Chain A
Amino acid sequence: MTRPRVIWVVLWLAAMTLAVIVVTRAHYTADLSAFLPRAPSARQQLLVDQLRDGPASRLMLIAIEGGDAAARAQLSMAMAEQLRGNGEFVAVNNGEPVNDARDREYLFNHRYLLSEAVTAQHFTVSGLTSSIDDTIALLASPAGLLAKSLLPQDPTGEMLQILSQLDRTARPHTLAGVWASVDGQRALLVASMRASGSDLDAAERALHAIRAAFAQAQRATPGSAAGRGRLEITGPPVFAVAARNTIRHEAVRLSVLSTSLIVSLLLVVYRSVPVLLLGLLPVTSGALAGVTAVALGFGVVHGITLAFGITLIGESVDYSIYLFVQSRRATAGVADAEHRQRAMWKTIFLGVLTSVCGFASLLPSGFPGLSQLGLYSIAGLLVAAAVTRFVLPALMPRSIQIRDLTPLGKRAAQILRRARAGRLVLGVVAVAAALVLYVRRDTLWNRDLSALSPVSARAQSLDARLRADLGAPDVSDFIVVTGKDLQAVLRASEKVAARLDPLVSDQTIGAFESPARYLPSDATQIERRASLPDSDELRLRLRAATASLAVSAERLEPFIRDVTQARAAPLLSATDLERTSFAAGVDALMMHQGEQWAALLPLHSAEAGTQPSAAATNKVRAAVESAAPGEAVLLNLKSESDALYSSYLSEALRLSGAGFAAIIVLLLLTLRSPARVAAVVAPLVLAVLAVAAALLLGGRSLTILHLIGMLLIVAVGSNYALFFDRSGSDQHAGTEPLTLASLLIANAATVVGFGVLAFSNVPVLAALGSTVAPGTFLALVFSAALSRSASRQLSRTN
Chain B
Amino acid sequence: MRNASHFALALTLLVTLRATAADNDLDPLMALLAERTRGHVSFVEQNYLAVLDRPVEASGELLYERPDRLEKRTLAPRPASLMLEKGDLTIQSGRRKRVLALHDYPQIAPFIESIRATLAGDRAALEQVFHLAFEGSLARWTLSLVPLDAKLKAVVREIRIEGARDELHTVTILQADGDRSVMTIGSSIPP
Contact = CB atoms under 8 A, between A and B. Distances in A.
A in complex with B: yes
Given A140-B45, A142-B93, A146-B4, A175 B103 contact: yes
Contact of B58 (A140, A175, A555): A140
A149 B4 CA distance: 11
B47 interface: yes
B51 A551 contact: yes
B5 A143 contact: yes
Interface string A137-174: 11111111110110110000000000010000000011
A505 B95 CA distance: 8
A136 B56 contact: yes
A139 B96 contact: no
Contact of A137 (B5, B7, B9, B56): B56
For the complex of A and B, list the 3 residue pairs with the smallest distance between their C-beta atoms, beginning with the closest.
A140-B58, A137-B77, A145-B5
A151 B74 contact: no
A137 B78 CA distance: 7
A146 B49 CA distance: 13
B54 A143 contact: no
A174 B104 CA distance: 5
Given A134-B78, A148-B179, A142 B5 contact: yes
25 contacts: A134-B78, A136-B77, A137-B78, A138-B78, A139-B47, A139-B56, A140-B47, A140-B57, A140-B77, A141-B58, A141-B74, A142-B8, A142-B9, A143-B5, A145-B5, A145-B7, A145-B8, A148-B179, A151-B51, A164-B96, A175-B103, A175-B104, A550-B52, A550-B53, A551-B52
Q: In the complex, which of the residues A138, A140, A184 has the most CB atoms of chain B within 10 Å of its own CB atom?
A: A140
A410 B132 CA distance: 105
Nearest to B155: A145
A148 B51 contact: yes
A551 B74 contact: no
B151 interface: no
Contacts of B175: 145
Contacts of A173: 101, 104
A552 interface: yes
B74 A140 contact: yes
B120 interface: no
A550 B57 CA distance: 11
A173 B9 CA distance: 19
Interface in B74-102: 74, 77-78, 80, 82, 91, 93, 95-96, 101
B12 interface: yes
B53 A141 contact: no
Contacts of A134: 78
A149 B1 contact: yes
A45 to B, nearest CB: 38
Interface of A: 134, 136-146, 148-149, 151-152, 164, 173-175, 182, 184, 505, 550-552, 555
Contact of B49 (A137, A148, A505): A148
Contacts of A142: 5, 8-9, 12, 80, 82, 91, 93
A316 B2 CA distance: 73
Contacts of B1: 145-146, 149
Interface in B38-86: 45, 47, 49, 51-58, 74, 77-78, 80, 82
A152 B52 CA distance: 10
B111 to A, nearest CB: 14
Nearest to B101: A173
Nearest to B58: A140
Contacts of B45: 140
Contacts of A138: 78
Contact of A144 (B5, B55, B103, B104): B5
Contacts of A140: 45, 47, 56-58, 74, 77
Contact of A146 (B2, B12, B93): B2
Interface in B108-155: 155
Contact of A139 (B2, B52, B91, B101): B52
B156 to A, nearest CB: 10
A145 B91 CA distance: 15
A148 B50 CA distance: 9
